[in-house]
Chains A and B, each alone.
Chain A
């Protein structure tokens, strides 16, 4: 009888995983298409994957709002929080395929790997159990290591090797940490009462060690200091669309599980460890080190890597407040981060087709020759800095508001330091974010430089993203109201 109940539970759970099932079947079909198609392989595969991502996206929209439902005997839980992140992942996948230009012979592998990362990200956002956490984390990591090497050249293979070595060490640390937590709590389900009851009075130093070991892999995934060392190398060497993808989807997936993990280990504020301060500490480190290292970079992709590290710090601020409001603003920031990051990398990719973008000095004066791409890049950079009239400003403003509220409630000095450091660094960030627009518009073109290849679809794509950034600055209410309806209980 027991078995029968379990089997019914499993077959009922499968019905809730429709977007993932679509993704899995798309993965298998892409594999077969890659084997059998001879002509127009690339185009067909791209259109097919775009269609599947759209389909999965609309399936999630259709079933909104979700009643929180526990799947597969507590392995995962589907609620609005995870569905929100799943929407972001599919948007990220869609935009990546739109700007990708992988050559025909590797196109199907490229799409399969992206499908696998999206699948892992969806499962990670839903997971409620350490088994699921480890498996979906690996499902994201392993294809990422391979994708980082997809330029198939000397540098790219090195970037992928470094990413792999750092990544596996971080994962191994996390797995050991999980085994310790299992020993202390006796359960792998981190949302269960048993987990909370076992750890609530524990002042064991083992809990301290185990928590930090688990944080290792999560901080690695979102590229936060001190586990950020892979990011500059991978960003510099991997193909630009892959970088855009890796800087958004695995990072947001990592962030989703980071939020769940910290809230679980926080034990409703009963934990012996000051989690708000720990998160604030890593946020401060990421913001300061990311920004200061970005200042001295001359390679734009390397600079954006450090900028992305600093952005992780800003995202973590929302979690450091440990309030529902802060997490809502973090989710708003995540949406804006996705748009502005894709905008900047898409424009860089367009420049890359015409000029060597290894150094910012190659951009000098190109703004006058090709206005539209340069203008889109300017807006993207302004948004990343966090200045009006872009939604980057709204996102930063909201996240600092929640930080201030939280400081007034708790009078924690760490939060005050975080506030001051964050505001000062927004000013510092101006210097490097506006370096490229400065060169584009205010420098004389080097003799012999020509306008970059213009293409109408690409310009339109950039303009849509620019419009979105400005629209969300003027009217953030719609998106914010929608996010505010998302309730989140562990």
Chain B
């Protein structure tokens, strides 16, 4: 297996584990960590694919995604803090006033 293939599989592994964390974990902050893993998987992919191409657009997009990830984390932590203020918990199962009432 070449180095590139190895890195590609590694990024796929990162993405899958990030998605798994985001879907299964109960704490909102851990879900945020999973989302960061997914974004980093995309960054790794972009940097990797950029090696075989002319230009820099892949790596530039990776830089932009780092910025996007920071913004998401900032807004996300603020929202989690706000709901912690009301529910005294960041566990998603306990933050469930809104649901189907039949």
The reply to whether B15 and A161 contact each other, CB–CB distance below 8 Å, is no
A175 at the interface (CB under 8 A from B): yes
Contact A158 B57 (CB under 8 A): no
Question: Does A362 belong to the interface (CB within 8 Å)?
Answer: no
Residue in A153, A171, A296 with the greatest tally of chain B CB atoms within 10 Å: A171
Interface string of B57-69 (1 = CB under 8 A from A): 1101100110010
Please indicate which of the listed interface residues B11, B48, B58, B61 has the most CB atoms of chain A within 10 Å of its own CB: B61
| Alpha-carbon distance A296/B95, docked complex (angstroms) | 24
Q: Is the CB of B87 within 8 A of A158?
A: yes
Type the 1/0 row for A124-159, where 1 means its CB is closer than 8 Å to any CB of B: 000000110011001000100110010001110111
Q: Is the CB of A134 within 8 A of B68?
A: yes
User: Is A164 part of the binding interface, using a Cβ–Cβ cutoff of 8 Å?
Assistant: yes
CB-CB < 8 A to A135: which residues of B?
64, 68
Which residues does chain B contribute within 8 Å of A183, judged by CB atoms? 45, 48-49
Which residue of A131, A176, A296, A298 is within 8 Å of B57 (Cβ)? Answer: A131
Q: How far is the CA of A171 from the CA of B42 in the complex (A)?
A: 11
Residue A179, interface by CB 8 Å = yes
Q: How many A-B Cβ pairs are below 8 Å? A: 125
Contact of B98 among A146, A155, A187 (CB under 8 A): A155
Q: How far is the CA of A130 from the CA of B42 in the complex (A)?
A: 13
A159 to B31, CA, bound (A): 16
- Flag if B79 contacts A176 (CB, 8 Å): no
What distance in Å separates the Cβ of B8 from its nearest Cβ neighbour in chain A?
Answer: 8
Residue of B nearest to A236 (CB): B98
Shortest CB distance A431–B (Å): 16
Q: B-side binding surface: helix, strand, loop or mixed?
A: helix
Do B83 and A157 touch (CB < 8 A)? yes
Please tell me if A233 contacts chain B, counting CB pairs below 8 Å.
Answer: yes
Contact B75 A142 (CB under 8 A): yes
Please give me the residue from chain A that is nearest to B84 by CB atom: A157
CA distance A236 to B98 in the complex (A): 8
Least Cβ–Cβ distance between A177 and chain B, in angstroms: 8
Contact B98 A172 (CB under 8 A): no
Other-chain contact of A168, B72, B86, B96, B101 (Cβ < 8 Å):
B72
A133 → B minimal CB distance (Å): 10
Tell me the minimal C-beta distance from A223 to chain B in angstroms: 16
In the docked arrangement, what's the CA distance between A20 and B65, Å? 23
Please count how many residues in chain A sit with their CB below 8 Å of the partner chain's CB atoms.
Answer: 42
Interface residue count on the B side (C-beta < 8 Å): 49
Q: Which of B9-54 contact A (CB under 8 A)?
A: 11, 15, 18-19, 22-23, 28, 31-32, 35, 38-39, 41-43, 45-46, 48-49, 52-53
Other-chain residue from B28, B60, B98 in contact with A165 (beta carbon distance below 8 A):
B28
A185–B52 CA distance with the chains assembled, in angstroms:
11
Cα distance A173–B39 in the bound complex, in angstroms: 8
Taking the nearest CB of chain A, how far is it from the CB of B36, in angstroms?
9
Most chain B C-beta atoms within 10 Å of own C-beta, residue among A135, A168, A299: A168
Q: Tell me the complex Cα distance, A164–B95, Å.
A: 14
Q: Which chain A residues border B86 with CB–CB below 8 Å?
A: 153-154, 157-158
- As a 0/1 sequence over residues 305 to 320 of chain A, the CB contacts with chain B under 8 angstroms (1 = contact) are 0000000000000000
| A162-B98, A169-B35, A172-B42 given; A157·B79 CB < 8 A | yes
Answer whether residue A207 sits at the interface, using C-beta atoms and an 8 A cutoff. Answer: no
A221 to B22, CA, bound (A): 19
Which of B31, B48, B49, B85 has most chain A Cβ within 10 Å? B49
Within the complex, what minimum Cβ distance (angstroms) separates A363 from chain B? 17
* With A134-B65, A135-B68, A188-B57 as contacts: A178 and B98 at CB distance below 8 Å: no
> How distant is the Cα of A161 from the Cα of B38 in the complex, in angstroms?
19
- Interface check A186, CB cutoff 8 A: yes
Q: A131-B57, A164-B76 are in contact. Are A173 and B38 (CB under 8 A)?
A: yes
Distance A145 CA – B57 CA, assembled complex (angstroms): 29
A172 lies within 8 A of B95 (CB): no
Which residues of B lie under 8 Å from residue A176 when comparing CB positions? 15, 38, 41-42, 45
Whether B15 contacts A164 by the Cβ 8 Å rule is: no
Q: In whole angstroms, how far apart are the Cα atoms of A421 and B76 in the complex?
A: 39
Provide the B70-102 mask, 1 if CB < 8 A to any CB of A, else 0.
011001101110110111000010011111111
Q: How far is the CA of A162 from the CA of B97 in the complex (A)?
A: 11
Asked if A145 and B75 make an inter-chain contact with CB atoms under 8 angstroms apart, the answer reads yes
Interface string of A273-301 (1 = CB under 8 A from B): 00000000000000000000000101100
In Å, the complex CA distance between A431 and B31 comes to 39
CB within 8 Å for A175 and B65 given contacts A161-B79, A168-B76: yes
Closest B residue to A179 by beta carbon equals B45
Known: A134-B65, A165-B31. A160 touches B45 (CB 8 A): no
Interfacial residues, chain B to chain A (CB-CB below 8 A): 11, 15, 18-19, 22-23, 28, 31-32, 35, 38-39, 41-43, 45-46, 48-49, 52-53, 57-58, 60-61, 64-65, 68, 71-72, 75-76, 78-80, 82-83, 85-87, 92, 95-102
The 4 tightest CB contacts between A and B, nearest first, are A179-B45, A172-B38, A183-B49, A157-B83
